[in-house]
Amino acid sequence: MGYGLGLDGSTKDYALKWYRYLHCPNNIKEKVLKGVKSLIKSKKPDICCLIEIEGPHADYFSKDCRYFDITNKYGPKSTLSKLPNFRKKSNAIFSRKKYKIKRRFLKNGTKKLLYEISLPKDVTLFMTHFSLSRNTRKKQFTEIKKLIKSQKKVIVCGDFNIFNGFKELEPLLSNTGLNIVGKNNKTFPACNPKKALDLFLCSKKIKIKSCKVINKKLSDHLPVMLEIEI
């Protein structure tokens, strides 16, 4: 969601509208929130994973997705989570049914929140926002790899920030049975998508029905929708 700042991912937008990170007009945030709400209503996802959402925005989506968890992305022990400009910075899970949601916090990186959601038929969904640092991402991949070894069927999703391409994912893909779904799904920048940053990695045992980018410019990333058979 890009915190509802309405940026399109272009260098020009970041340069001219950087002030929105400090103060964003309410009408701009309102427009983004209404756009995301409309998208959720039209697609009716069973689960909606939102990265870069501000805590107070949860009320916009709770009527369409009754169950949700929204948590500061930096972790309870982080100094950033206590600072005014950062304490509302969160990730969130919204769903139409009640699922078991576990909050985990990675040891590496500034953004530490890792959601673990237990789905039917022994499917486990992990969602996070990976670091901008390549070395830190590699450490985070190693952490997650240890977690998924004991799981039968796994989906790992989120903003992977793999600006150097899919080769970065090798530490996570090797010996885990995970495959990249929708390699051609370019999501960034939203104004002219060239990078596949927002991904789903799925166990081979999971039957994929579709994985599509939705052409809705609501933030600097385009949304992606995965449909599986359970």
Domain chopping of the chain, boundaries: 2-229
Rounded Cα distance, 120 and 203, in Å: 15
Mean pLDDT of the chain: 94
CATH architecture of 2-229: 4-Layer Sandwich (3.60)
Which pLDDT score, from 0 to 100, does residue 57 have?
79
Q: What is the pTM of this model?
A: 0.94
Residue-wise pLDDT tens digits, 8-35: 999 999 999 999 999 999 999 999 999 9
DSSP state of 14: H
d(CA 28, CA 37): 14
Beta-strand relationship, 207-213 and 224-229: antiparallel
pLDDT score recorded for residue 152:
85
Confidence of residue 64 (pLDDT cuts 50, 70, 90): confident
**Residue 80's pLDDT band (boundaries 50, 70, 90)?**
very high
195 secondary structure, DSSP code: B
Q: What is the pLDDT of residues 90-136, one digit of tens each?
A: 999 999 899 999 999 999 999 999 999 999 999 999 999 999 999 99
Rounded Cα distance between 83 and 194, Å, is 34
Q: Identify whether the C-beta of residue 68 lies closer than 8 Å to the C-beta of residue 115.
A: no
